[in-house]
Amino acid sequence: MGDVGGFESGIVWRLDGPLARRHRVHVFGSGRRPVVFGHGLGTDQGAWAKVVHDLPADVTALLFDLPGAGPLLPEGFDPDDYRTIAAFADDMLDLLEEVGVTGCTYVGHSVAGMVGALAAIEAPARFARLVLLNASPRYLNDADYLGGFERVDVDGILGTMAANYQAWVAGFAPAAVGAGAPRAVDEFSAGLLAMRPDVTLRIARTIFESDVRALLPMLRVPTALIHSREDIAVPATVGRYLHEHIAGSELFWIDAVGHLPHLSAPGAVGTALRGILNG
């Protein structure tokens, strides 16, 4: 792929480094504004395909795979290295440093939203803005906080994943995507089945056991929240919670059902994202 320049004044992006290869970095577009996209569990960078093809002309999209995505795991990969969301954030910051992205808008879906939030807390100068799609700081219910899952629910999910992974995928994918989007269900199912089951289980456990609520007040990067009105994994209460606890954030509701609207309703996500980028 080689070096790519011209996205930021005086900046050259290096796309052939070891971390770029490890995360299978790809670039789409040739505009002056860099937008980095992070994907959620069970998908890879391809989940953004229908969104990045309809971005403003002055945008260049940088897409990468989070550790564990897909069947081709990088040499030395150990799922136990990712017991916290912070481990993913550190990986991403190292990647952006190597590539040479010194300032960008970051768009993160689900767990990748909190990966971006933690990265922006650690290195705020690297991010001009965050856009979090159906993201959650905690998935477990807790006192007055409604995250969407009771502990017994999560234990049951993880137990089913361990006992019969294929059966779990067959039930979880349509529930997560929602009715009326069979192609999106098939795409999400294929992504989950492409992952090594023990890797999916380790990352799912990390996600379900994460709680970054206490860190949200430390986030000072301008943040936009895009949230489906109906999401079995991240209820509307979580979108409102993030809006209330991230200073100055904006909350945009989209008429989409399910946890993966960029697969099931890419037009709605694209419209919201373009409005944010052009705002």
From 136, 259, 262, 264, active-site residue? 259
Can 259 be counted among the known catalytic residues? yes
Distance of alpha carbon 159 from the chain centroid: 24
Which residue in 231, 249, 262, 264 is the catalytic one? 231
| 3-class secondary structure per residue, 45-89 | HHHHHHHHCCCCCCEEEEECCCCCCCCCCCCCCCHHHCCCHHHHH
78 has catalytic annotation: no
Q: What is the DSSP track for 187-255?
A: HHHHHHHHS-HHHHHHHHHHHHT-B-GGGGGG--S-EEEEEEEE-SSS-HHHHHHHHHHSTT-EEEEEE
Contact 206, 233 (CB under 8 A): no
Distance CA 200, CA 258 (A): 20
In this structure, what token pair is assigned to residue 141? 């219910």
Annotated catalytic residue 231: yes
Q: End-to-end alpha-carbon separation of the chain, Å?
A: 32
For residues 104 and 131, is the Cβ–Cβ distance under 8 A?
A: no
Number of C-beta neighbours around residue 125 at 10 A: 9
Q: Report the 10 Å Cβ neighbour count for 49.
A: 14
| 198 half-sphere exposure, CB direction, 13 A CA radius | 5
Among the listed residues 44, 91, 109, 110, the single catalytic one is 110
Residue positions annotated with a catalytic role:
110, 231, 259
